Structure 1
Amino acid sequence: MPCNDAGDGAAVPEMVGGMLLHFKSLRRFEHSGGWIKALLEEAENEHSPIEWWATLRRKQFTLTRYTEFLKELDNGNMQNVPAPPIAIDYWRLPPNSTLRDVLAVRADEAHHRDVNHFASDLLYQGRQLKEAPVPLGYH
């Protein structure tokens, strides 16, 4: 699964796409099929992992892939320290959560993948996003 390391431009495509779709929708008085909201939510959701990864990097954690990070934790090569407050706040985790608990963010990453692939498949087929509303269960 891809990891969004701090500084790699994560959230930029979703933000740009959402804003462009928003302006196009306003100009043409068209509904987006829920894509404006979906893309902007994707951008926001990409932001928190970047912040907490940056927090970990400042503490000398240098791994940048979730799966590798989990292996290091599970093998005892890294200490399963308390989760950063930003992660606890964003994912509404219990106050005593650890890094291992935060790595539930992998589900978010899988969700990003699915939404982005759905959108890119539509565009590859020469269709517009509004032709196929955001998949059910998105939110």
Structure 2
Amino acid sequence: MSDLDSPSTPLDRHKTPNGISDRVALGIVKFMRVFADAFFSKRYGHRAVVLETVAAVPGMVGGMLQHLKSLRHIREDEGWIREMLDEAENERMHLMTFINIAQPSFVERMLIMFGQAVFFNAYFFLYLFAPKTAHRVVGYLEEEAVVSYTGYLAQVDSGFVENVAAPALAITYWKLAPDARLREVIIAVRADEARHRDTNHEFADALAKA
């Protein structure tokens, strides 16, 4: 829940790939982007509903595996577990918010179930055997999320998408003004994604140095 006006969360930050694993991570994300663009095009509300379902997986998987690692090695986790579980909960709140704004169709609900099942298992094994690459994948996914929410915001500002009232859930969670609209929700969500982007790239960098 960072402030986008803060210099610590620039929107256009990009982590230049360094080495084969980083390039693989970026390639995975670009491959996923092709399917997202083909299926949703510029329907950013529906795109958010489906993609936030997937986005809530990495934090939970990473937190669980780091928890088990901490138990096995009987040592502190340096705050990683809480950070990742908080990320998973934050992404879930994104989903709960956009469900109120863009009701998913039956096909999209089926896509949610299929996508989550595939992504959970794929990410679990990726994190198990290559945690640095897994965090880098999330970092690049969040870079794309910032781009997507910027596009969504542009549609609202242009009048292409109605600037509807913010759901009560969003007003409470982000402590928005009582009369907040969709525009304020998108800005708050985009700020979250920028923070997750930076955190996961930092985790990947730390693992690269370990």
Distance in 2 (alpha carbons) for counterparts of 1:118 and 1:81: 36
Identify the residue that residue 131 of structure 1 maps to in structure 2: none
Q: How far apart are 1:11 and its partner, in Å?
A: 1.7
Match of 1:69 among 152, 162, 171: 152
* One-letter amino acid of the structure 2 residue matched with residue 86 of structure 1: L
Corresponding position: 1:35 with 2:87: no
Q: CA deviation at 1:59?
A: 8.4
Deviations 1:5-26 (A, max 9, x none): 3333112111111111112212
- C-alpha separation between the residues in 2 aligned to 1:11 and 1:78? 25
1: CA distance between counterparts of 2:151 and 2:85? 29
Matched, 1:20 2:65: yes
Q: Which residue of 2 aligns with 1:46?
A: 91
Question: Counterpart amino acid of 1:97?
Answer: A
Give the TM-score normalised by structure 2.
0.53
1:103 — aligned with what? Answer: 186
**Amino acid of the structure 2 residue aligned with 1:6:** V
1:115 and 2:199 correspond? yes
In structure 2, how many angstroms separate the alpha carbons of the residues matched to 1:17 and 1:58?
A: 29
1:92–1:37 CA distance, 2 compared to 1 (3 A): same
- What is the identity, as a one-letter code, of the residue corresponding to 2:49? A
Give the conservation status (yes or no) of the 8 Å contact 2:97–2:169. Answer: yes
* 2:8 corresponds to: none
Q: What TM-score does the superposition give when structure 1 sets the normalisation length?
A: 0.77
CA drift at 1:55:
2.1
* Distance apart, 1:81 and its partner CA: 1.4
RMSD (CA atoms): 2.4
- Judging changes above 3 Å, is the alpha-carbon distance between structure 1 residues 19 and 116 closer, same or farther for their aligned structure 2 residues? same
1:47 Cα deviation (Å)? 1.0
- Structure 1 runs of 4+ aligned residues shifted over 2 Å read 1-8
Contact 2:63/2:80 (CA < 8 Å) preserved in 1? yes
CA distance in 2, matches of 1:79, 1:17: 37
* Matched residue, 1:88: 171
Deviation at 1:30, TM superposition (A): 0.4
Give the AA of the match of 1:83: A
Q: Against the structure 1 CA distance between its residues 79 and 7, is the aligned structure 2 distance closer, same or farther, given a 3 Å change threshold?
A: closer
Q: Which amino acid aligns with 2:180?
A: S
What letter is aligned with 2:184? Answer: D
Q: Percent identity at matched positions?
A: 45
Higher helix share: 2
Instruction: Give 5+ residue unaligned stretches, structure 1.
Output: 128-139
Q: Which segment is superposed worse, 51-60 or 84-93? A: 51-60
